């Protein structure tokens, strides 16, 4: 079945009006906040664990076996009402949530609202800031230190800068491994998440096999490319506040350090 989901903006739902739900969905929504519609073949285990942990007693599952003409008619009516054709499909009284990734985002947003924090793209958690900026220290040390090092140490500083850049790129790819372990539907464009997760590390390894000037330049380009891919693939996920903004700052810092190292090789 072709996957097609859309996230309903809860701020606009009241104005737009809720869909005309099929009778079984309408009845379930009278007593439960979230209703999950599945077929007999749908894997509901991850969704069930998530709902039990975050919305206990506030959700209900409707299983519609597609062997029944009545159930097929119900699902067709649901498609007409929501424009969504994914199973499992999650809905609320106000509108459609979507599939499992959208359910995670919806529940994360609700949790933030319950704590009075909202979903603001402001400063990230202190731990992310401290560890993130600490990760820039080796970039700054070797990127600037290469200018001050004695000739016999200059190559060492530049090689250390390139190797550290490759290590960090591998770390950034592994972020998608973690997301995939929590959500098996996570993809990065046309690629499955585990496939993309190894791409930065392989490209970074190939980069450091080059002579130093080319290696530093390639690594800088890779940092920009990885950030751009993450921006496109992660912007709709329930991430820690300010994560993508912090990533942008750290990416710029890494690229400046690599550019500084490249300038040393040109000036030498």
Query: Could you tell me if 105 and 236 are in contact, meaning their C-beta atoms sit under 8 angstroms apart?
Result: yes
Quick: pLDDT tens for 17-40. 556 778 888 888 888 889 988 887
Q: Whole-angstrom Cα distance, residue 142 to residue 39? A: 57
Token representation of residue 238 = 């329930």
Residue 96 confidence (pLDDT) above 90:
no
Three-state secondary structure call for residue 35: strand
Residue 104 pLDDT level (bands cut at 50, 70, 90): confident
The residue with tokens 């009006």 is 17
**What Å distances lie between residue 240 and 109, 131, 210, CA to CA?**
11, 14, 36
Quick: pLDDT tens for 132-160. 899 999 999 999 988 987 877 888 999 99
Which residues, in sequence order, are bridge partners of residue 191? 188
**Would you call the peptide bond into 124 cis, given omega within 30 degrees of 0 as the criterion?**
no
Backbone φ and ψ for 91, nearest 5 degrees, come out as: -135, 160
What pLDDT is stored for residue 9 in this prediction?
42
Average pLDDT value for the chain: 81
Quick: pLDDT tens for 192-231. 888 999 999 999 999 999 999 999 999 999 999 999 999 8
Task: Please give the residue that has the higher pLDDT: either 264 or 67.
Answer: 264
Residue 8 confidence (pLDDT) above 70:
no
Residue 258 confidence (pLDDT) above 60:
yes
Percent above pLDDT 90 for the chain: 32
């Amino acid at each position: 079945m072709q996957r097609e989901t859309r996230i309903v903006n809860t701020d606009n739902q009241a104005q737009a009006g809720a869909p005309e739900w099929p009778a079984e969905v309408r009845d379930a929504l009278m007593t439960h906040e979230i209703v999950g519609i599945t077929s007999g073949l749908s894997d509901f285990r991850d969704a069930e664990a998530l709902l039990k942990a975050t919305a206990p007693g506030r959700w209900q599952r409707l299983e519609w076996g597609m062997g029944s003409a009545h159930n097929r008619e119900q699902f067709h009516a649901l498609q007409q009402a929501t424009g969504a054709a994914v199973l499992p499909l999650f809905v609320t009284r106000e509108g459609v949530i979507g599939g499992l990734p959208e359910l995670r985002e919806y529940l994360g947003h609700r949790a933030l609202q319950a704590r009075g924090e909202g979903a603001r793209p402001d400063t990230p958690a202190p731990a992310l800031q401290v560890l993130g900026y600490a990760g820039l220290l080796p970039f700054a040390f070797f990127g600037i230190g290469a200018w001050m090092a004695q000739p016999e140490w200059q190559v060492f500083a530049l090689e250390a800068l390139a190797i550290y850049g490759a290590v960090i790129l591998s770390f950034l790819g592994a972020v998608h491994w973690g997301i995939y372990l929590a959500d098996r539907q996570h993809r990065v464009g046309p690629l499955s998440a585990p496939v993309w997760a190894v791409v930065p590390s392989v490209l970074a390894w190939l980069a450091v096999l080059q002579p130093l000037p080319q290696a530093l330049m390639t690594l800088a380009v890779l940092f920009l490319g990885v950030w751009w891919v993450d921006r496109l693939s992660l912007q709709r996920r329930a991430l820690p506040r300010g994560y993508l903004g912090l990533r942008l700052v750290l990416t710029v810092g890494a690229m400046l350090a690599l550019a500084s190292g490249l300038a040393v090789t040109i000036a030498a």
